[in-house]
Structure 1
Amino acid sequence: MTMLEGLLYTWYSLPFVSPNNLLITTITSTGVAIEFIYLLIFLVYAPKKEKLKIVGLLAFVLTVIATVALVSLLALHGKPRMHMCGIVTTIFTIVMYASPLSVAVSLSCLFISSC
């Protein structure tokens, strides 16, 4: 999810989607590069079963970013393009940060009888 969120933010910050965001483009693309290196290292040393999971998730990430890119380039222009990319990026950012939180909340219910 971090890779997807970084790619979406990088796409959102490009000049033809949202102008004047050079700093955001630099920071998010650097983060994506670091995440990509991490995934490559993981894929080199991971067991085969784990590699298949990561490759599947990577295919999902690439499908989502390609869909967002194609829709925003071919169907939308100007402010609607920026708004759609911003909304999609916000949704996946919330999912990225809410996923660990949902696990933590469900684990705390094991110790609290009121859940």
Structure 2
Amino acid sequence: MVSADAARTVVGIIGNIISLFLFLSPVPTFIRILKKRSVEQYSPAPYLATLINCMVWTLYGLPMVHPGSILVVTINGSGTAIECVYIILFFIFSDKKKRLKVSLVVLFEIVFVGCLSLLVLTLAHTHKKRSLVVGMVCILFNIMMYASPLAVMKLVITTKSVEYMPFFLSLASFANGLAWTAYALIRFDLFITVPNGLGTLFGLAQLLLYAAYYKSTKRQMEARKTKEVDFSEIIVAGDQQVSKKTAAAAPTQIKSGPTTHENHGT
């Protein structure tokens, strides 16, 4: 019979793999941003929320805070590095107003995690107390990470389009919440169960929205392409008309030259 610890390790490894896919799922979005050299209507909120979430979970998994949680440290440490890359790219291709907001939020997050680490490690002298304090903070930011797409979900409902709600991010979010909920339930950990259980529900809600508005999104994108083609045809037609007018005017100018000369000679 497989022990609870062995099962938890296996599920934790699966959770690490799925979490890595979650962190890498925005890659197509950032490829689009790089090609267009603009963040368009994409929001930095999911990446900023994920960054601080990864930082506090890395702190939670450290041996001096919550021993036996090395799998929590490995994936969240990797997530911190990946999110930093996303935020740098978002900063580069944003306007000044968005850059200022992103900079202020990142500064706040770094200062907050630094202060939390200092206070927990100096004032709380047992693993239980440290786990309790950091665990409560982790629940808060984990819920924020999973709930951060709510603004995008509102945009989806308003516009009836999922163009700016990446499918793979929603799918990976759902699978990630499911895997870590299972991990926490094998050897019950309240601080991991609560936020990831809610994350599973948020992820499911996004997938349902995607299914509901996928067809209308396709119609809107096709209509937009049709308008762009029609507009291009109008411009081409307009250029041709101008060219014809220029060509028609040219002989008249040539003809009027000699007539004027003849009159002058008379």
Q: TM-score, normalised by structure 1?
A: 0.82
Cα offsets for 1:59-100 (capped at 9, x unmatched): 111122122112101110221011110111111111222343
Q: Name the counterpart of 1:38.
A: 86
Q: Name the counterpart of 1:85.
A: 134
**Distance (Å, rounded) in 1 between the aligned partners of 2:102 and 2:150:** 22
Give the superposed CA RMSD.
2.2
Equivalenced residue count is: 109
**Distance (Å, rounded) in 1 between the aligned partners of 2:152 and 2:92:** 28
**Which amino acid counterpart does residue 134 of structure 2 have in structure 1?**
C
Q: TM-score, normalised by structure 2?
A: 0.38
**Which amino acid counterpart does residue 72 of structure 2 have in structure 1?**
I
**Which amino acid counterpart does residue 87 of structure 1 have in structure 2?**
M
Alignment of 1:1-115 (within 5 A): 1-78=49-126, 79-101=128-150, 104=153
Q: Between the two proteins, what is the percent identity of the paired residues?
A: 35
Relative contact order: is structure 1 or structure 2 higher (C-alpha 8 Å, sep ≥ 6)? Answer: 1
Post-superposition offset of 1:46: 1.9
Residue ranges of structure 1 left out of the alignment (5+ in a row): 109-115
**Distance (Å, rounded) in 2 between the aligned partners of 1:43 and 1:101:** 22
Cα offsets for 1:5-34 (capped at 9, x unmatched): 000000111111111222111111111110
Residue ranges of structure 2 left out of the alignment (5+ in a row): 1-48, 158-266
